[in-house]
Amino acid sequence: MFSLTPDRSAVLQALADTFIPPLPDGSPSGSAGVNLDKLQDAIREQPEGAQAEFGKLLDLLEKPLLGLTWFGPLKPFRKLEPAQREQLLQSWASSNVPQLRKGFQALRKLCTLLYYGGSMAAVPAAWGRLGYPGPDEKPVDTPKPIRTLRPTEATTYECDVLVIGSGAGGGVVAGELAQAGQDVLVLEKGPYCHGCDFTQREVDMLGKLYDAKGTLSTQDGSIGILAGACLGGGTTVNWAGAFRTPDYVLQEWAREHDAPHFTTLEFKESLNAVARTIGVNTNYTRHNGQNQALWDGSTKLGQEVKLIPRNEKGLSDSDTHFRSLGYTTLGDAHGIKQGTLNTYLLTAFEHGARILADTKVDRVTIANGRATGAEAVHTTEKGQQIRIIVKAKRVVVAGGAIQTPALLLRSGLKHPHLGRHLHLHPTVVVGARYPQAMNSWHGPSMSVVNDTYTQLHGTNFGAKLETPPTHPGLLSMVLPWLSGQQHHELLRDASHLGSFIVLTRDRDGGRVTIDKNGASLIDYALSDFDRANMLEGVRAAAHIHVAAGATQVYLPHGTLPTLHAKDGVLQNPEVLDKLPHLSWKSNQFGLYSAHQMSTCRMGGDAATHPLKLNGETVEVHNLFVADGSAFPACSGVNPMLTIMALAHFTAQGMKAGRSVEARAEVV
């Protein structure tokens, strides 16, 4: 297990001061705001091989041989002059050696996130200088409405249905089956948080609510992956966008994957049912600065924009509610967002379901070709780890498209397509500076969408233009670093920054495997086809920023190509024209994913699809999957509502005990 020695701690402090130097106005240097204990905790969440690699990277920085990596003096990092330290990091950032680019990005992202995201107990001094107010007052503490199990010793449970995972898939299945009278047990890897448990500070909440403490990534480090790992899963931390699956995607799934149920009346009824339950609406009254810019710029260019349906209830037009909406990706302290935590899981509990949080499932148990339960480890409030055995008649796995295939592989499933076809909706951020204050950390993170570019060149593939949360920790990771002063000053302008995301429906996928310890390993390389579509979206986003009144547009490449505009007219279009001709190797640009799909895909051909059309695995009877991994391909929209609808549809079949083919009624 990775550990911080005194030498490693010292070199990390020197790195933090290089990435984030002090400014003349008194902005403190990086080491004053980076909590190394939290950094160590984040590294320990990585697979064993990645932990060892990070340790070797820090040890290299303590050796004179370090000089060979950048043709500089043969001195350890701490013995270099400040200017030399910066030159070394700049050399690594643009190196032709993939491992050096990976090392640079890992160190940069950790240091900047911990500094700007508030890893110290005190309110970060940097926040005031950014104009970032941080989360509002704490809500009134209210009792937790769900009483979870709290075993203190090794325990065996028996149930009709074991549900592994509690997000958009698992939560819905649990609620539906418990309400139908079945004895349901839910196991969730993450904690149960409610109300004022959600401090809404980035580092705290990323560490508590997200898989790998918010540091999940591909093996090469080039794609940062955000996945919920708490009770309610992704529905607790997502951006509240409740998109219906596009008809052209459902038709594609039915046609290309021999899955006709996606175009049936019953599936549409499942979409309607979950939308009603989670309160999908467009009744909000205000946009924040960057959503208004997306609306205004698109409209000026003659492009259609739409309001994004959101799953919120009890929302007023007060400034308090408006401000608080910007923080709900870090947990909704006011209970406005209607994720499974406030809907299906509550229903499940009220109908007798038992829920056990802080419990990691090691494997599903299988006997005579049938699922019989699971073996897991529960961590008590005191940190003690105890064994949990579950005996179940049926098992539903809903751990998300990264952890579900990893669990099935650990459990001995061997389908050749299990873990393959990983889709990520790879996403880049196009930021811009506006003359007026944007304060984009307030208000709905996403309330406007531009779908002009979703079906490019006569295909079903392209990009959506939306807006992301823009809290300073995440913002610091996505904005390119050219030098310590440049990056620090760019973040100082955060209150005037507005950002759009280019969310790409990827045609070509990656893969999830496991290491010798059973930990998930993620491999994904953006294909030329998908990158070309992404860059068309980037060009479109840049023009919309300019039309909306931005004066500078920061393009999503490590060299930070910058567009300049005046009075709505782009002054240096040649920079935009050159963008596709830059080098787009891994870790030369920032790529992110908040949507993971299709690693245990459903379809009519058992040779190429690990799931039957009713959600049951083709290898093991009574073992079902109900999450985004079951998608035949990616949804092309934020997938929460589609996952919930598919889980609802699967649950109806489990209630009836009938095959999906017998239930299909095509509309």
**Burial status of residue 224 (CB atoms within 10 A of its CB: 0-12, 13-18, 19 or more):** buried
Give the 3-state secondary structure percentages of the chain, helix then strand then coil, rounded to 5.
Answer: 40, 20, 45
Distance between terminal CA atoms of the chain? 55
- Tally the C-alpha atoms within 13 A of residue 623's C-alpha that lie toward its C-beta: 28
Q: Tokens 């951020």 sit at which residue?
A: 429
**Tokens matching residue 149:** 């199990």
Q: Report H helices in 246-390.
A: 247-256, 265-277, 289-300, 319-325, 344-350
Burial code (b: 16+ CB inside 10 Å, e: under 16) for 596-625 equals bbbbbbbbbeeeebbbbbbbbbbbbebbbb
Give the DSSP letter string of 540-576.
HHHHHHHHTT-SEEE-SSTT--EEEEETTEES-HHHH
Residue tagged active-site, from 194, 334, 442, 595: 595
**How far is residue 260's CA from residue 603's CA, in Å, rounded to a whole number?**
9
Judge whether 114 and 35 are in contact, CB under 8 Å: yes
Comparing CA positions, the residue from 588, 587, 609, 584 lying closest to residue 598 is 609
Instruction: Tell how strand 497-504 and strand 520-523 pair up.
Output: unpaired
Phi/psi-derived region of residue 200, left when phi > 0, alpha when psi is between -120 and 50, beta in every other case: left
Judge whether 370 and 630 are in contact, CB under 8 Å: no
Note if 595 is an active site residue: yes
Q: Tokens 């390993």 sit at which residue?
A: 521
Contacts of 578 (CB under 8 A, 6+ apart): 561
Contacts of 490 (CB under 8 A, 6+ apart): 479, 554
Single-letter amino acid, residue 569: V
> Which whole-number Å values give the CA distances from 402 to 377, 405, 418, 593, in the listed order?
19, 6, 11, 12
DSSP category for residue 141: P
**How far is residue 570's CA from residue 574's CA, in Å, rounded to a whole number?**
10
Instruction: Tell how strand 280-281 and strand 310-311 pair up.
Output: antiparallel
CA angle 220, 230, 398 (to 5 degrees): 75
- Its sign, for the CA torsion 194, 196, 198, 203, is negative
> 217: which strand partners?
224
CA angle 598, 425, 645 (to 5 degrees): 55
Instruction: Tell how strand 510-514 and strand 497-504 pair up.
Output: unpaired
Catalytic center residues: 595
